[in-house]
């Protein structure tokens, strides 16, 4: 029994409540004030050293590997990493003796900062991560803007999370461990950063296409046209479907998508005529790409045989999250022919657009989690009644819509 007895004297449980003011606007942003009240009362007289309100941001990664040890035994090898982004604290009361059953009220106000505090791993030798990484340059290693609240979760043991919490700690004179009520979770979104808008171009070469539909209309009789078709082969072309997608998109804002069908004649271009061409977008998806790394727990390492290579000290995961479907405007357009003066190619350009919802998480990078997004657009072209399709995909940075 003595092994589990606390060194602290036993006291009746105090009642501590942390309450945000109703006028607090969420989500919080850089410079946002977090304010409210702390309510305290205790059945017994207590000597308080201080009362402290704390906002803390942390990034947490977890993973588990199941290892076989014989026919019937399975071991769970746990991986975990937790890094503190920033701690913002304020003492709201100190050096007082409370009266029994008397309710105390203390106001508090704290402000979110813009970035993390101090160098995280200025010396690579001090970083806990030693193994080579294909994405090492994307992780943060120096002070950076606080990332948004974020959760990528497959299970309680397989996740990557950025979380901001608000708590109060009551430090008593006669008690080593501070008393804290349950945490409150705060939602945080960073401000918009300047960005350089670049465009990413994708080109898809479709197999050559041969059809009498490409010969256009004629004033000849039906019998004459039939004889012409027997006398000569149908026009043949090579089709190229090009797309131009943005590299950065602002939350809640519209973004452009440019598409262009190029037709290169492989037979006599004089007989080529393409009166009707339609270009459309059948789907737009924004797919989260989460990269995170974790360290093997010491307890799990002690369970492994020395020769085990199944569970290295570090793991790095690259996972896609749930795709978000977006609408294209317009979905389909009839396009007019434009001839390229530098070649015999015929061009059929079309302009489209999409809009990003406000709830999409901005892109970010921390010491152990990176969030990218992939923009995936399925293009459709109809040439002479025949349909062709392909998918364009590029990595994009999602920018916050909050002005600093």
Sheet containing 104-111, strands listed edge to edge, beginning at the edge strand earlier in sequence: 15-20, 33-41, 104-111
- Please provide the DSSP assignment of 91-124 as one string: EEEEEEEEPTT--EEEEEEEE--SB--S-SSSSG
What tens digit of pLDDT does each residue of 71-116 get?
Answer: 777 788 899 999 899 999 999 999 999 999 999 999 999 999 888 8
pLDDT tens-digit map of 14-55 = 999 999 999 898 899 999 999 999 999 999 999 999 999 999
pLDDT at 317: 92
- Higher per-residue pLDDT: 316 or 3: 316
356 vs 55: CA distance, rounded Å? 30
pLDDT tens per residue across span 64-75: 988 776 677 778
Q: pLDDT per residue over 168-182, tens digit each?
A: 999 999 888 999 998
pLDDT at 291: 93
Domains 2-186 and 199-399 fall in the same CATH topology: yes
2-186: CATH topology is Immunoglobulin-like (2.60.40)
Query: What's the pLDDT band for 117 if we cut at 50, 70, 90?
Result: low
Q: Does residue 215 or residue 385 have the better pLDDT?
A: 385
In this prediction, residue 216 has a pLDDT band, given cuts at 50, 70 and 90, of low
Task: Report domain 199-399's class.
Answer: mainly beta
Q: What is the pLDDT of residue 27?
A: 92
Task: Considering only residues 75 and 124, tell me which one the structure prediction assigns the higher pLDDT.
Answer: 75
Whole-prediction pTM: 0.81
In 152-208, which ranges are continuous DSSP H helix?
none
- What tokens were used for 290? 């989460």
Rounded to whole angstroms, the Cα distance separating 7 from 281 reads 68
User: With 50 as the cut, is the pLDDT of residue 263 above it?
Assistant: yes
End-to-end CA distance of the chain: 57
Domain boundaries defined on the chain: 2-186, 199-399
In angstroms, the CA 384 to CA 387 distance is 8
pLDDT at residue 121, rounded to an integer: 47
pLDDT at 187 over 90: yes
Omega before residue 237 within 30° of 0, cis: no
pLDDT of residue 360: 92
User: Is the separation of the CB atoms in 191 and 177 below 8 Å?
Assistant: no
Are the beta carbons of 315 and 129 closer than 8 angstroms?
no
3-state secondary structure 221-288: CHHHHHHHHHHCCCCEEEEEEEEEEECEEECCCEEEEEEEEEEEECCCHHHCECCCEEEEEEEEEEEE
Would you mind telling me the total number of residues written for the chain in this entry? 404
Q: What is the pLDDT of residue 143?
A: 77
Q: Residue 122: its pLDDT value, please?
A: 44
3-state helix, strand, coil in the chain (%, to 5): 10, 55, 40
**pLDDT score of 183 more than 70:** yes
d(CA 290, CA 373): 8
Strand 386-399 relative to strand 248-250, pairing:
parallel
Q: Which range has highest mean pLDDT (7-11, 62-66, 298-302, 303-307)? A: 62-66
Q: What CA–CA distance (Å, rounded) separates 221 from 219?
A: 7
Inform me whether the pLDDT recorded for 190 exceeds 60: yes
Q: Which residues contact 204 (CB under 8 A, 6 or more apart)?
A: 240, 241, 242, 379, 390, 392
Confidence (pLDDT) at 54: 97
Band of pLDDT at residue 7, cut at 50, 70 and 90: low
Pair 77, 311: CB distance under 8 Å: yes
What number is the average pLDDT over the span 314-318?
90
Residue 163 is predicted with a pLDDT of 97
Task: Report the pLDDT value the prediction gives residue 357, as an integer from 0 to 100.
Answer: 92
């Amino acid at each position: 029994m003595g092994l589990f007895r606390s060194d602290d004297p036993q006291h009746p449980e105090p009642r501590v409540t942390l309450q945000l003011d109703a006028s607090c606007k969420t989500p919080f942003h850089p410079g946002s004030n977090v304010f409210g009240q702390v309510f305290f009362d205790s059945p017994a007289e207590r000597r308080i050293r201080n009362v402290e309100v704390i906002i803390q941001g942390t990034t947490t990664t977890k993973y588990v590997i199941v290892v076989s040890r014989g026919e019937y035994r399975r071991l769970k090898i746990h991986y975990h990493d937790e890094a503190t982004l920033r701690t913002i604290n304020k003492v709201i009361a100190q050096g007082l003796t409370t009266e029994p059953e008397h309710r105390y009220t203390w106001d508090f106000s704290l402000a979110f900062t813009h970035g993390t505090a101090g160098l995280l791993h200025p010396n690579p030798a001090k970083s806990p991560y030693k193994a080579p990484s294909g994405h090492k340059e994307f992780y943060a290693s120096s002070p950076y803007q606080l990332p948004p609240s974020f959760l990528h979760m497959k299970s309680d043991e397989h996740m990557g999370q950025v979380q901001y919490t608000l708590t109060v700690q009551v430090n008593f004179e006669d008690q080593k461990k501070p008393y804290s009520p349950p945490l409150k979770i705060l939602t945080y979104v960073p401000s918009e950063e300047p960005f350089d808008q670049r465009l990413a171009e994708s080109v898809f070469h479709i197999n050559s296409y041969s059809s009498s539909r490409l010969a256009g209309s004629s004033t000849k009789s039906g019998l004459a046209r039939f004889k012409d078709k027997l006398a000569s082969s149908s026009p043949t072309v090579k089709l190229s479907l090009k797309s131009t997608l943005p590299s950065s998109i602002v939350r809640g804002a519209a973004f452009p998508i440019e598409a262009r069908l190029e037709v290169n004649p492989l037979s006599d271009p004089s007989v080529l005529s393409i009166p009707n061409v339609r270009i459309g977008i059948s789907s737009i998806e924004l797919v989260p790409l989460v990269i995170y790394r974790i360290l093997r727990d010491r307890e799990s390492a002690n369970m492994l045989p020395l020769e085990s290579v199944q569970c290295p000290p570090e793991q790095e995961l690259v996972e896609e999250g749930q795709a978000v479907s977006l609408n294209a405007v317009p979905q389909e357009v009839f396009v007019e022919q434009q001839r390229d003066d530098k070649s015999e190619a015929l061009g059929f350009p079309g302009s489209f657009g999409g809009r990003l919802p406000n709830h999409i998480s901005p892109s970010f990078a921390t010491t152990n989690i990176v969030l990218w997004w992939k923009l995936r657009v399925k293009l459709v072209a109809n040439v002479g009644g025949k349909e062709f399709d392909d998918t364009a995909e590029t990595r994009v940075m999602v920018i916050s819509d909050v002005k600093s």
